[in-house]
Chain A
């Protein structure tokens, strides 16, 4: 099977004008502009198979959005090669654009003053979707996301979450084979996030669509993506199964201990993370976990004890910070 998305040695550098603050520097920059090269993406390679849902992780400014923009044809790569569905995205051939969709959580494409139903009609015209197919897809999506009562209201009268659902419907009406989602759940409440996640999952499973997703909410990634690509400062730090990210980067487990006597000092057993009344959480290295657990139970009177993997958020955080330190 050939890969749907294949990126090799992709770099995208920007030249940005640079000046110091103040009037003098502002005037000087009018005549003699200094430029600085920003390596937004620096030698990144990966390939994604048809039907995969891949999480694209990294802190702000890591190069995620830049990569998505290169993939969706908005930016020319500085170097390296990118093919998606056999096309070179930067040429923006219509045959390619017809098969992909870009959804950005922080930007709207649907017209503010129009009811969604009209914007959908415009999407139909732009993509040249046959009317019967369009109606079926549209009504399916409206049902799935429970939007029936909202499609006739102008977008500006909808809540953020409702608007995002409409955005997703609008972006998927032409049934793209590849979906680029940039922070699709940003700013939404937990219920709405879950709703959108479920929808994406269903869309992926039903149509075998390939999805590349960026999100700051690990819940999104855990629910949708088996595989993650972690980038930082424009470089790939990790590419593989989400579960192996945890084993590879987290050498700790978290023990939760509830004691009848909260005064007891537990620092000899491990690093005390939190202390909330009778409940104490400890960070213990994986190798010592069973030993420490046994000691705790034999040394003290314990009401409750839990052993958990480090939350994924903390793992990601430690990936970024460890990379920062080795730099």
Chain B
């Protein structure tokens, strides 16, 4: 079975079903509005005091906020729901069903859930980024756009890998529900460029939970701060994370024996 076709089938059915619950759209819109509003208030508070923050201007930080919102939408619509279902499956023993299917189990558990309305955050994120761009009166060159998209995709892949690694721990300790909360807290730190944080936190946000790669690096690409070397480094990190995640997943799987024996 072609994994892309499989993912698209799940996507299609997920969308069709979520369409029935239109109220979720409005709830999501409200949530996005609140996070944009609090973000803007935060920005205006900071820029009431200073004119730049660690070398970032107000409009540039608006772009960071947009990327943060966009990536947050991707996490909440695609990554988090699948990983939470995986945790449930491990705890309830229903992962057995996924493992007895003639498909790669990692692919299968990563595409089963899709929260369509969470994509509102992605749209709002793009709007904010455009707004920031307009304020910066910048022009978006083709290479710059390419760098941004590449950084975004690599960041997304890295976040997925971290989620998968953390979720794989559920093969040993069964209860990891609280980890979603922890993750959300750390991801919230990505609202600001990681450069403003002390070294130890910056290192953590770069290598442990790659918020730096998921938000700051794409934003750097947008604001002409990104060097080719950084992008190459991001690529190396992505490959490393993919291998680590796959390894830990396979190890966890071999340890899995179902909730009841």
Q: A residues within 8 Å of B by Cβ?
A: 14, 38, 40, 65-66, 69, 72-76, 92, 94-95, 97-98, 100-102, 104, 107-109, 111, 113-114, 118, 121-122, 125-128
Q: Do A97 and B101 have beta carbons less than 8 Å apart? A: yes
B24-51 interface with A by 8 A CB criterion: none
- Which residue of the partner chain B has the closest CB to A121? B13
Cβ–Cβ < 8 Å partners of B254 in chain A: 76
Q: Do A126 and B103 have beta carbons less than 8 Å apart? A: yes
With A and B bound together, what is the CA distance between A92 and B205 in angstroms? Answer: 38
Kindly provide the distance from the CB of A59 to the nearest chain B CB, expressed in whole angstroms. Answer: 15
Q: Do A118 and B102 have beta carbons less than 8 Å apart? A: no
Number of interface residues of B (CB under 8 A): 25
Q: Using a Cβ cutoff of 8 Å, how many contacts connect chains A and B?
A: 73
- Which residue of the partner chain A has the closest CB to B85? A111
Kindly provide the distance from the CB of B96 to the nearest chain A CB, expressed in whole angstroms. Answer: 5
With A and B bound together, what is the CA distance between A107 and B13 in angstroms? Answer: 22
With A and B bound together, what is the CA distance between A97 and B103 in angstroms? Answer: 9
Q: Do B261 and A66 have beta carbons less than 8 Å apart? A: yes
Q: Do A94 and B93 have beta carbons less than 8 Å apart? A: no
Known: A14-B261, A65-B260, A108-B94. A73 touches B99 (CB 8 A): yes
B219-241: CB near A (< 8 Å → 1, else 0) gives 00000000000000000000000
Secondary structure at chain A's binding surface: helix, strand, loop or mixed? mixed
Segment of B3-11, B140-148, B154-162 in the binding face: B3-11
Q: Do B9 and A121 have beta carbons less than 8 Å apart? A: yes
Known: A97-B102, A128-B1. A113 touches B96 (CB 8 A): no
With A and B bound together, what is the CA distance between A73 and B97 in angstroms? Answer: 11
For residue B258, CB closer than 8 A to chain A, the reply is yes
Q: Do B99 and A74 have beta carbons less than 8 Å apart? A: yes
Kindly provide the distance from the CB of A209 to the nearest chain B CB, expressed in whole angstroms. Answer: 16
Cβ–Cβ < 8 Å partners of A40 in chain B: 261
Q: Do A69 and B13 have beta carbons less than 8 Å apart? A: no
For residue B100, CB closer than 8 A to chain A, the reply is yes
Q: Do B102 and A98 have beta carbons less than 8 Å apart? A: yes
With A and B bound together, what is the CA distance between A74 and B5 in angstroms? Answer: 25
For residue B52, CB closer than 8 A to chain A, the reply is no
- Which residue of the partner chain B has the closest CB to A110? B97
Q: Do A127 and B17 have beta carbons less than 8 Å apart? A: no
With A and B bound together, what is the CA distance between A126 and B254 in angstroms? Answer: 22
Q: Do A114 and B9 have beta carbons less than 8 Å apart? A: no
Known: A40-B261, A97-B101, A122-B13. A74 touches B96 (CB 8 A): yes
Kindly provide the distance from the CB of B86 to the nearest chain A CB, expressed in whole angstroms. Answer: 14
For residue B189, CB closer than 8 A to chain A, the reply is no
Q: Do B16 and A126 have beta carbons less than 8 Å apart? A: no
With A and B bound together, what is the CA distance between A290 and B96 in angstroms? Answer: 53
Task: Tell me which of A14, A95, A109 contacts B257 (CB under 8 A).
Answer: A14
For residue B108, CB closer than 8 A to chain A, the reply is yes
Cβ–Cβ < 8 Å partners of B92 in chain A: 107
Kindly provide the distance from the CB of B74 to the nearest chain A CB, expressed in whole angstroms. Answer: 22
Q: Do B5 and A69 have beta carbons less than 8 Å apart? A: no
Q: Do B101 and A118 have beta carbons less than 8 Å apart? A: no
Q: Do B96 and A104 have beta carbons less than 8 Å apart? A: yes
With A and B bound together, what is the CA distance between A66 and B96 in angstroms? Answer: 12
Q: Do A69 and B258 have beta carbons less than 8 Å apart? A: yes
With A and B bound together, what is the CA distance between A73 and B102 in angstroms? Answer: 11
With A and B bound together, what is the CA distance between A69 and B9 in angstroms? Answer: 28
Cβ–Cβ < 8 Å partners of B13 in chain A: 114, 118, 121-122
